[in-house]
Chains A and B, each alone.
Chain A
């Protein structure tokens, strides 16, 4: 069974600084997708970034980028120039290429301080 592990229950970053959230996963599949979702206090799940496993280039969305290490099965999220609005729970998620359901990690609570 596929598993997603987020080893950091909580992280803190100062405004304008950079923070990296870690995620590792376990799979025997070769075709899969990885996601980072943000869940702010409103509880609305918001897609931050996604990565297809077959792409070697790391995905980037404005201040958010990933470090995808396929051999190590690692998928970390880097947030640059952190803003107060980045404070939220962040969930790493995985799906195989054929299946439709997402498997979520346990989440990392990110605090952004002044």
Chain B
């Protein structure tokens, strides 16, 4: 089945630094990828939709200069949290849409970001 690899699974960074999270579709080409943020015991909140070769579409209230998304190839999207602050600490999940089937939303295993 479709597999999405998300890396790193955990990262701790200092306040003010930037962190990059990678999301790769391993066995299919994903023209569309999604980035979610999940707070403890809460639902997944869509941050942005990433389309290969074009600018990401951000949800209302998400700072695009803060959360930089790059979808440079059909198998890789990256989320960079710039100038991270403790309030950016969260669980980030990516998802890739497999165009081969209608329910083809495959999720990465998530990244726990802790900003100290």
Contact = CB atoms under 8 A, between A and B. Distances in A.
A43 B109 contact: yes
B2 to A, nearest CB: 10
Q: How large is the interface on A (under 10, 10 to 19, 20 to 34, 35 or more residues)?
A: 10 to 19
Contacts of B97: 100
Nearest to B103: A50
Given A100-B32, A100-B49, A101-B34, A107 B43 contact: yes
Interface residues of B, number: 19
A11 interface: no
A47 B41 CA distance: 19
Interface of A: 33, 35, 42-45, 47, 50, 52, 91, 100-107, 109
Given A44-B109, A44-B110, A105-B43, 9 more contacts: A42-B109, A43-B38, A44-B107, A45-B107, A52-B102, A91-B44, A100-B49, A104-B43, A107-B42
Give me the 9 closest cross-chain CB pairs, A-B, nearest first: A45-B107, A50-B103, A43-B110, A104-B43, A106-B43, A104-B44, A44-B109, A107-B43, A100-B32
27 contacts: A33-B103, A35-B103, A42-B109, A43-B38, A43-B91, A43-B93, A43-B110, A44-B109, A45-B93, A50-B103, A52-B102, A91-B43, A91-B44, A100-B49, A100-B97, A101-B46, A102-B34, A102-B46, A102-B105, A103-B46, A104-B44, A105-B43, A106-B42, A106-B43, A107-B42, A107-B43, A109-B41
